[in-house]
């Protein structure tokens, strides 16, 4: 039987077309680095070093979180009112959510998933006896309080994993007892064992939930890491003096490696600050960058892992920038500035 010549012609055409497509050079990937913070007391973010100011009508303002979804840039920040701070959320510089100026609220984190916008803030509340803060989540403008206000509480950050929303924070049981708490869909899970501790940041990899925070240790404040609500690992800085305090600000996970970023504060016995350090641990091993004196504040913000390096946002001696592992990268020009959040987008 003779072969079908029309079929053979079409087959050759398809093979040639595929080869032509394969020969096309692949489009190089573009990586954008976003930093969110403030410049001269005004909310601003930087994209690859270029500053974008967020309008705040002349009020003091600062960004705490940034999310990029497609061509849209979402930012969450703190603005000043006569009664105190409140949060504001912007989409491409246009206000989309603003907390009532009659309430005092401290914004903590922002998550955007599809059409859903989540805002985390601590809201001041008078419970009839004394003032407390209540960690609160807004989903598309609808408010859900995580505590009833009977005890003081606070939050640090949140993360969305599938349909589950996690919030890291604490509940103050007494003057000396503070429980580290992980809320899952509004339900509190106690992480600490009755000593003074708090949860600040979350990283999720696969089905594993990592939470980092701080608690009382042999050298005052010690960084802590929980994996899947287990017993916390204490991260010790062996070079720290006795009156040393580590405030955890970021966590990133890459495979089996767990990175924790912190602002390491060296104080004397009277709690006078002598030195600020940017500090991070890799699997419990201390790695620190250059330190600066207290009159030029150095502090860190959120962390992310990208292309075999840890990136941590911060204020580098009063200038917005970030650390790439132990290398300091300054972003802002002249003026007082700082960065609280870092985001790396590849497209």
Residue 109 has a pLDDT of: 98
Percent of the chain with pLDDT over 90: 59
The lowest-confidence range among 6-20, 48-62, 63-77 is: 6-20
Residue 294 has a pLDDT of: 46
CA torsion through residues 255, 260, 33, 342, sign: positive
Question: What is residue 19's three-state secondary structure?
Answer: helix
Question: Comparing C-alpha atoms, which of 346, 309, 243 is closest to residue 322?
Answer: 309
Query: With bands split at pLDDT 50, 70 and 90, how would you rate the model's confidence at 12?
Result: very low
Condensed to tens digits (0 to 9), the pLDDT of residues 83-132 reads: 788 999 999 999 999 987 778 999 999 999 999 999 999 999 887 777 89
| Half-sphere exposure (Cβ direction) of 346: Cα atoms closer than 13 Å | 6
Condensed to tens digits (0 to 9), the pLDDT of residues 228-265 reads: 999 999 888 777 766 677 889 999 999 999 999 988 87
Question: What is residue 64's three-state secondary structure?
Answer: strand
User: Can you say whether residue 256 is alpha, beta or left, with left for phi > 0 and alpha for psi between -120 and 50 degrees?
Assistant: alpha
| Half-sphere exposure (Cβ direction) of 234: Cα atoms closer than 13 Å | 13
Q: Which residues lie below 8 Å from residue 83, measured CB to CB, with a gap of 6+?
A: 101, 102, 103, 104
- Region 31-331+338-346: CATH code: 2.120.10.70
Mean pLDDT throughout 72-82?
A: 92
- Distance (Å, whole) CA 174 – CA 195: 11
Query: With bands split at pLDDT 50, 70 and 90, how would you rate the model's confidence at 81?
Result: confident
- Distance (Å, whole) CA 266 – CA 289: 15
Hey, where are the domains in the chain?
Answer: 31-331+338-346
Residue 259 and residue 252 in contact, taking contact as beta carbons nearer than 8 Å: yes
- Put simply, whether the predicted model's pTM sits higher than 0.85 gets the answer yes
Residue 100 has a pLDDT of: 77
Q: State the first-to-last Cα distance of the chain, in angstroms, to the nearest integer.
A: 52
């Amino acid at each position: 039987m003779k072969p079908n010549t029309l079929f053979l012609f079409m087959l050759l055409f398809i093979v040639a077309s595929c080869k032509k497509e394969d020969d096309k050079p692949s489009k190089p990937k573009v990586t954008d680095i976003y930093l969110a913070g403030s410049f001269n007391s005004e909310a601003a973010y930087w994209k690859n070093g270029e500053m974008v100011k967020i309008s705040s009508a002349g009020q003091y303002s600062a960004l705490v979180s940034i999310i990029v979804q497609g061509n849209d840039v979402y930012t969450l920040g703190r603005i000043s009112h006569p009664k105190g701070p409140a949060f504001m959320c912007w989409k491409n510089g246009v206000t989309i959510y603003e907390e009532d100026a009659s309430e005092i609220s401290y914004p903590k984190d922002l998550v955007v998933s599809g059409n859903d916008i989540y805002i985390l803030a601590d809201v001041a509340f008078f419970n009839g006896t004394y003032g407390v803060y209540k960690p609160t989540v807004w989903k598309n403008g609808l408010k859900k309080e995580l505590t009833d206000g009977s005890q003081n509480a606070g939050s640090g950050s949140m993360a969305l994993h599938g349909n589950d929303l996690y919030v890291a924070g604490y509940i103050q049981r007494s003057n000396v007892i503070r429980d580290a708490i992980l809320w899952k869909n509004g339900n509190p899970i106690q992480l600490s064992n009755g000593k003074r501790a708090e949860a600040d940041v979350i990283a999720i990899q696969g089905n594993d939930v990592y939470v980092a925070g701080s608690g009382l240790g042999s050298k005052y404040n010690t960084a802590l890491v929980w994996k899947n609500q287990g017993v916390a690992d204490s991260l010790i800085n062996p070079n720290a003096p006795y009156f040393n305090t580590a405030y955890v600000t970021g966590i990133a996970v890459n495979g089996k490696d767990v990175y924790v970023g912190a602002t390491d504060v060296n104080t004397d016995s009277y709690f006078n600050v002598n030195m600020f350090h940017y500090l991070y641990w890799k699997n419990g091993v201390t790695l620190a960058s250059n330190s600066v004196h207290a009159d030029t504040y150095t502090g860190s913000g959120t962390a992310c892992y990208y292309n075999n390096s840890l990136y941590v946002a911060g204020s580098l001696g009063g200038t917005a920038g970030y650390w790439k592992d132990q290398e300091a990268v300054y972003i802002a020009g002249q003026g007082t500035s700082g960065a609280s959040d870092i985001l790396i987008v590849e497209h």
